[in-house]
Amino acid sequence: MGARFLLMAGIAIAAVQAFGAVYYVATDGNDANAGSKDKPFATLNKANAVVHAGDTVWIRGGIYDLKDTVFFARYKMTAAILLTASGESDDNRIHYLAYPGERPIFDATNLPVAAGGEHSDGTPEGAMYTSPIVISAKFLHLKGFDVRNTPMKHNSNSGVFLYASKHIFLEQIDSHHNAGPGFFANDGVPDGGGHIFLNCDAHDNYDPLGWQGDGENADGFGAHYQEPGQGDTTKFIGCRAWWNSDDGFDFINQEFPVVLENCYAMGNGYSNYGLGNPKNGNGHGIKMGESTLGGGRHTIKFCAAWKNKATGFYANYTGVGSKWLNNTSYMNKDREFAMASTLFDSEGNRIAEVAPLTGDNAHVLKNNIAFPNKNSQVGECWEYIPSQNIDHYVECPAGENNTWNLKLDLTEDDFESLDDPSMTVTGKDLSTIPGILGPRNADGSIPNVGFLKLKKGSRAIDKGENLGFSFVGEAPDLGAFEYGMSSSSTAESAASIAMPRNGHLSALRNARGAALVFDLQGRLLGTLQFEQINSSDFADRNKSLSEILRAKFRNPGTYIVRSGSEIRKVQVR
């Protein structure tokens, strides 16, 4: 491993590199102001009207009482904040960032909500949806704020809604207590997707008044309607979802691959801090279907799901298999893993009620922990035969090196701890209580607790298959946490990119295979293709990297470069 560097907490606000214009937004600002630090704007809508690629908007802390909306004609909805100005590339974004040391809160309690309905008449009054923040742009970086208390009348309203957007980077955003999904990405355009959700939280979202039912649509995170072969892969890294009335993560109708890494889902299907049980909430932790056109081949790795109302990890009658690697599922009410699948024709029409996926189309399950080993459509699958009106049981893929293959009936003695507030505390806001779902560290990483981690002597240690991830010992361990890897976090923040990492839990990688370049304030500056870097001796290449960075970014200063697990701070003169 290369050397690691700790960033000082009090880095000056002035950017080291030369950027575009810098603007400020504050609760006591005025949109007639110049947008300077002393004369800030009042709204992000004003900032959106003036920014260009390379610009930065610093958002001061405090509560922003959202009381006005604008009409987004393209999607026939209203929004308190509508971001449409775009950056030019991954190397030239627009940045909307919380001012260091402060937390902006966008509160939608008083947001006027459109009447809604199953159809829109194309007018602001007849809009179907209303959201506090709507993004329809390319190459943005948003970081460090809360979105909360979105109301509803007839339709569920998302806290943060992405529509026909490309390469949006959302970091350390907490979307909670909304009457609809915390985050909803709708990328139904050929040139969409490719987003990164890093260290974001979605919790306590509940839609009691929806026309589809009580709690039916308030997922934590959703990515939907991206067609096969269109756009880029979206990644969710280090994200947490709990006590959402529907599902934690739901990717129904997503026909382009999505990656979940180091993500956590608990207690979904419930409301009111776990006290309520909405009758129409599904309650799956991580739901990765359904793909009807064969494009939804997702990857779910190093994730954990526990105490959800239904299953921990659910395929949702998809028509194509996904990869489920090194995940931990614990004490979910129905099943730990449910690989229920079915068959569709080339036009997406269902041709079977339920049928196992086999061959190259089958689900891949490796190195997973199910505790207890309570699964369905794994190893033994059932398919419905309409002509006989019976369920027929057949052999189907069971995966390799999972607790059920190895007949490992784990117990409490195999874990460092099964005690966590999320297992015992209801009626209270878990985001304020120390635990795995408690307050994040300043850099965005989750608390370092022993919950669900293996302890010395655990029967799950060294029982996995080598899948190309870092591990300690003779072989990888089962589950989401590798024993013996020292770290204070399971996912890293761009702003703390030089903090130590867990070698087993993969760091953020650019979706197209490139090193990521940040400034000292955590702004993503761009990428370096791997062919530009000799990664085999990456730790000794500061001089060459300095030359590459000077040629690419043309400005002196300090850059942070991450290539996989290797992290370097490089001075460019």
Other Cβ atoms less than 10 A from the Cβ of 413: the count is 9
More confident residue, 19 or 311: 311
Tell me what pLDDT residue 45 has: 98
Hey, what are 199's tokens?
């260290």
Measured distance CA(508)–CA(372) in Å, rounded: 31
> Phi, psi (5° rounding) for residue 11?
-60, 135
pLDDT at 6 (0 to 100): 28
Across 261-279, average pLDDT? 97
Q: What is the pLDDT of residue 337?
A: 98
Distance in angstroms (rounded) separating the CA atoms of residues 532 and 33: 44
Lowest-confidence region among 133-147, 187-201, 458-472, 482-496: 482-496
Phi, psi of 552 (to 5 degrees): -80, -45
> Residue 3 pLDDT more than 70?
no
Comparing 539 with 542, the larger pLDDT belongs to 542
Structure tokens at 219: 């997922």
- Of 183-197, 490-504, 533-547, least confident by mean pLDDT is 490-504
Please, which residues bridge with residue 385 across strands? Answer: 390
Beta-bridge mates of residue 330: 306, 371
pLDDT computed for residue 532 by the predictor: 52
Q: Which residue has 């608390």 as its token pair?
A: 447
Mean pLDDT score, 33-55 = 98
Cβ(311)–Cβ(336) under 8 Å?
yes
Beta strands (DSSP E) in 230-363 are: 234-237, 240-242, 249-250, 258-261, 264-266, 286-287, 299-301, 304-306, 313-314, 323-325, 328-330, 337-338
Tell me 559's DSSP state: E
Q: Which residues of 276-298 are buried (b: 16+ CB within 10 A; e: fewer)?
A: bebebbbbbbbbbbbbbbebbbb
What integer pLDDT is reported at residue 538 of this predicted model?
Answer: 45
β-bridge partners, 371: 330
Please state the length of the chain: 573
User: Can you tell me the mean pLDDT for 256-272?
Assistant: 96
Low-confidence winner among 51-65, 219-233, 285-299, 384-398 (lowest mean pLDDT): 384-398
Which residue, among 349, 299, 340, has the nearest Cα to 317 in the 3D structure? Answer: 340
Cis ω before 290 (30° cut-off from 0)? yes
Q: Looking at this protein, which amino acid is placed at residue 463?
A: K
Residue 13's pLDDT band, with cuts at 50, 70 and 90, is very low
Could you give the maximum distance between any two Cα atoms of the chain, in Å?
77
Q: Determine the average pLDDT of the residues in 327-344.
A: 96
User: Who has greater pLDDT, 504 or 35?
Assistant: 35
Q: Which two tokens stand for residue 18?
A: 């030369």
Mean local confidence (pLDDT), 326-338: 98
Q: Is residue 4 over pLDDT 60?
A: no
Pick the closest to residue 95 from 168, 203, 194 (CA basis): 168
How much is the pLDDT for 529? 64
Which is more confidently placed, 175 or 520?
175
One-character DSSP codes across 106-141: EE-TTPPPP---SS--SSSTT-S-EEEEEE--BSEE
Band of pLDDT at residue 535, cut at 50, 70 and 90: very low
Give the Cβ contact number of residue 224 at 10 Å: 17
**Per-residue pLDDT, 247:** 98
Tokens representing residue 449 in the block? 């607790």
Q: What's the Cα-to-Cα distance from 136 to each of 44, 140, 188, 442, rounded to whole Å?
A: 14, 10, 12, 29
Residues 209 and 153: their CA atoms lie apart, in Å, by 7
Whether the CB-CB separation of 184 and 212 falls below 8 Å is answered with: no
How does residue 540 score in pLDDT terms, banded at 50, 70 and 90?
A: very low
Q: Considering just the CA atoms, what is the radius of gyration of the chain in Å?
A: 23
The tokens of 523 are what?
């702004």
Determine the pLDDT at residue 448.
Answer: 92
Rounded mean pLDDT, 245-257: 94
Residue 446 phi, psi (nearest 5)? -85, 160
* pLDDT confidence bin for 326, thresholds 50/70/90: very high
* pLDDT at 19 (0 to 100): 66
Please state, rounded to an integer, the average pLDDT across all residues of the chain: 86
pTM above 0.75, yes or no: yes
Nearest to residue 514, comparing CAs of 196, 258, 260, 223? 196
510 against 315, higher pLDDT: 315
pLDDT interval class at 123 (50, 70, 90): confident
What end-to-end distance do the CA atoms of the chain give, in Å?
26
Half-sphere exposure of 77 (CA within 13 A, CB side): 23
For residue 5, the model assigns a pLDDT of 27
Q: Three-class SS of residue 543?
A: helix
Model confidence over 456-479: pLDDT tens digits? 999 999 999 999 998 999 999 999
Average pLDDT over residues 544-554: 80
Q: Judge residue 208's burial from the number of C-beta atoms within 10 Å of its C-beta, 0-12 exposed, 13-18 middle, 19 or more buried.
A: middle
Tokens of 384: 């419905």
Q: What are phi and psi of 31, to 5 degrees?
A: -70, -10
Pick the range with the lowest mean pLDDT from 14-18, 217-221, 254-258: 14-18
Q: Is the pLDDT of residue 194 over 80?
A: yes
List the domain boundaries for the chain.
19-127, 514-572
- Asked if pLDDT for residue 491 goes beyond 70, the answer is no
* pLDDT for position 567: 65
What percent of the chain stands above pLDDT 70?
Answer: 88
Q: What is the mean pLDDT of residues 37-63?
A: 97
Which of 196, 108, 99 has its CA nearest to residue 524?
A: 196
Picking from 82-91, 368-377, 539-548, which range would have the lowest pLDDT averaged per residue? Answer: 539-548
Q: How confident is the model at residue 203 (pLDDT cuts 50, 70, 90)?
A: very high
